[in-house]
Amino acid sequence: MKELMLHLHENSPKYKQIYHSIRSLIENKELHSDTKLPSIRQLAEILHVSRNTTLVAYEQLLAEGYIRSEQKRGYFVEAFETIDIHIPTLHAEKYITEENNIRVDFRAGSVDQHAFPLKAWRQCVNEVLKEDIVYMYGEQQGDSLLREKIANYLLQSRGIRTSADSIVIGSSTQQLLMHLCIILKKEYSSIAVENPGYDGARIVFQLFGFQVNPIDVIEKGLCMKQFEQTDSKLVYITPSHQFPTGVTLPIAERLQLLKWANSQNGYIIEDDYDSEFRYQQQPIPALLSIQQDSRVIYISTFSKAFLPSIRLSYMVLPSELLDQYKQHFATFEQTASSIHQRTMARFMERGHWDSHIRKMRATYKRKIQTLVTSLQLAFGKTIRIIGSHSGLYILIQLQNSVGEKTLIQQALEQGVKVYPTSHLYIGNKPDVSMLKLGFSNLSIEDIQLGVQLLKKAWT
């Protein structure tokens, strides 16, 4: 083929127009396989462009496999099969319509964006951007300054005596659990978990081949009688604010767990995800604070108390596991942003973190009180409220036989989004549906409106 007429205009680079035009002709099968194309010189003369322009277009087509070059013969259309992809849109359109009608979203896991200390955070970011650290990958265990600030904070707020060297920073709780699983899998094959409990952790354990043994959560937290019957030598728990029920593990059970870990040569993975937010008493001391050299792996995060998108979590490792961690991950790069790590260190160093926690504790206390009071006025004795003294969400049970999916759909029809808890159970689920309502990113007015709409939906 010596003639290849293409229409070019002045609005974009001509080599791009030639490339896109020829590619389109090939994809639409207007240029068939093995068709000979004009030479670079011929096409340049036909289109009144430079030879370099047609050369660049042909090189891009060659690189992507649309054409091939045969020595002393020229350029030919390459043979390939196009794929017809059908994307169903019916369900997506319905979902988008429902999402657009949401007036109140009781989602947990977000923060009050109006109360976020943006000015202080921005000042710290601007300072950090002038430091050499932003041009590096970062330290393998995490920023040393941040680890020092975390160690000081854990001593003051959680009673944990540790050093910066024992702390490992990661991008999320799940990422840290993955690293833990790599280390622990060599010696342990099963792990006990709370039921109901955090499914994000359970998925990680299952991904790494651990046998997951569910232990029921009762009024006092983990059912110790049932726990003692398991052969697992690892246990993952949320003792200060059990997820999702909000139960706090009493001191007797805590001491029993510590004794078990020592006698069984096992480990307790303590997830302390939102301990900052208790509204009636001071934060409960961490398990690790009871016995400093205990076989406890302490994990926490900045996502709940500060900002989910910052992707900063950390863990405190016992000395024997710390040595193994350093051996396994010596050549691994740090997964969390060096900029965010150093910024958080500066934020804590200047006292902004403590101030932020005090402010948010007061803010969230007002919100949870508003939510609980509004629900009690709207539903009276027909509703049971669980976990109203701590955390960033509550659970509710309506004393009727309506299923979880139906309740969620009824709420959605009134423009309110509430969340299920059935996926947090292993095996048998409760007879009465239990729903999760977060409140952290809602205003007082939004909370009151949401409850009124729920009353309309469910009564």
- Backbone angles phi and psi of 297, in degrees to 5: -105, 110
Rounded mean pLDDT of 384-399? 90
What is the rounded distance in angstroms from the CA atom of residue 245 to the CA atom of residue 430?
12
What CATH architecture applies to the domain 14-77? Orthogonal Bundle (1.10)
Three-state DSSP class for residue 157: helix
- How does pLDDT run across 73-87, given as a tens digit for each residue? 999 999 877 666 555
- Select from 2.170.120.20, 3.90.1150.10, 3.90.700.10, 3.40.50.150 the CATH code of 96-113+357-458: 3.90.1150.10
Annotate 16-55 with three-state secondary structure.
HHHHHHHHHHHHCCCCCCCCECCCHHHHHHHHCCCHHHHH
Give the closest residue to 196 by CA, choosing from 223, 215, 212. 215
- Given this model, what pLDDT does residue 99 score? 60
Sign of CA dihedral 209, 331, 315, 422: negative
| Among 144-148, 208-212, 359-363, 406-410, the least confident range | 359-363
What is the rounded distance in angstroms from the CA atom of residue 310 to the CA atom of residue 313?
9
Report field, pTM of the whole predicted structure over 0.85: no
Task: List 356's β-bridge partners, or say none.
Answer: none
What is the rounded distance in angstroms from the CA atom of residue 22 to the CA atom of residue 26?
6
Structure tokens at 5: 């007429």
Which pLDDT band holds residue 448 (cuts at 50, 70, 90)?
very high
| Class for the domain spanning 117-350 | alpha beta
**Domain residue limits, the chain:** 14-77, 96-113+357-458, 117-350
Q: What is the mean pLDDT of the chain?
A: 89
Residue holding tokens 């920073």?
169
Q: Which residues of 381-402 are buried (b: 16+ CB within 10 A; e: fewer)?
A: eebeeebbbbbbbbbbbbeeee
14-77 and 96-113+357-458 share one fold: no
pLDDT at 95 over 50: no
Structure tokens at 254: 């805590």
What is the rounded distance in angstroms from the CA atom of residue 104 to the CA atom of residue 449?
8
Residues 6 or more apart from 176 whose CB is under 8 A from it? 168, 170, 299, 313, 314, 315
What is the rounded distance in angstroms from the CA atom of residue 15 to the CA atom of residue 379?
68
Do residues 116 and 143 touch, judged by C-beta distance below 8 A?
no
How many C-beta atoms surround the C-beta of residue 326 within 10 A?
A: 14
- Given this model, what pLDDT does residue 96 score? 45
What is the rounded distance in angstroms from the CA atom of residue 322 to the CA atom of residue 308?
27
Give the closest residue to 205 by CA, choosing from 197, 327, 301. 197
Do residues 398 and 433 touch, judged by C-beta distance below 8 A?
yes
- How does pLDDT run across 341-355, given as a tens digit for each residue? 999 999 999 999 999
Could you say which DSSP state residue 65 is in? T
| Among 53-67, 165-179, 226-240, 278-292, the least confident range | 278-292
- How does pLDDT run across 6-52, given as a tens digit for each residue? 888 887 888 999 999 999 888 888 888 999 999 999 988 888 899 99
Read out DSSP for 349-361? HTTHHHHHHHHHH
Orientation of helix 173-184 relative to helix 319-328, angle to 10°: 90
What would you measure as the largest C-alpha separation in the chain, in angstroms?
89
Task: List 278's β-bridge partners, or say none.
Answer: 390
pLDDT at 289 over 60: yes
Which pLDDT band holds residue 91 (cuts at 50, 70, 90)?
low
Highest mean pLDDT among 99-113, 173-187, 237-251, 270-284: 173-187
Structure tokens at 455: 């009353």
> 320 or 4, which is more confident?
320
Do residues 402 and 90 touch, judged by C-beta distance below 8 A?
no
